[in-house]
Structure 1
Amino acid sequence: HPFHLHGHTFDVIRPQGSTEYNYVNPVRRDVVSTGYAATDNVTIRFQTDNAGPWFLHCHIDWHLQAGLAIVFAEDTPDTAAANPTPDAWNQLCPIYDSLTPDQLGGGGGATV
């Protein structure tokens, strides 16, 4: 799987097919292959210095369409402060807002 991270470049400190970690002079990329064998593992590191939601996904289209992706929410307080929710947002769903906890599925059942 070729994985791509938006909004960052990252250090590949352990590439696929290797058991050695390279903290001294790692390769810098924004895409990395995770390998082919079931035992392949890749370790990346990156600084969280770019506020916002950033997408990490497989670059094989049908894998992406199947959901092989994640969004990192980085520095959410600063992101929220820079992009406040408009007051009109709270008026979008008056029917939903009027539902009771029982109607929302929070009717006293077990919580996880």
Structure 2
Amino acid sequence: MESARARTLTHVEPAEVALQVALDALADPVRRSILRDLATHEDWSRACGTFDLPVTKATRSHHFAVLRSAGLIEQRDEGARRLNRLRRPEFDRAFPGLLAATIDRAD
């Protein structure tokens, strides 16, 4: 049975995301650091609370929601943890080269 928390997760296909939404999501340095971190780990191996971010818990949740609504990440709940996956293949099909231009280089 799906929990109420899991039902709050809405995932958008990257192909359905407007370019401006994708650019806005990638413009923030905290969100880029999340994506860089996910790019160096196996899918579903990083929980939201394990990222070293200079923001509050509420702001952290907001950043993950922005990334999810831009089609950049997929999330799933596993017990009390919310695990993440970078949707690089799907995002690269919708926006070829955009991730490479933004997260594969240092700020």
Question: Which TM-score band (shorter chain)?
Answer: under 0.3
TM-score (norm 1): 0.20
Structure with the higher helix share, 1 or 2: 2
Q: Which has the higher contact order (CA 8 A, sep 6+)?
A: 2
Name the structure with the higher strand share.
Answer: 1
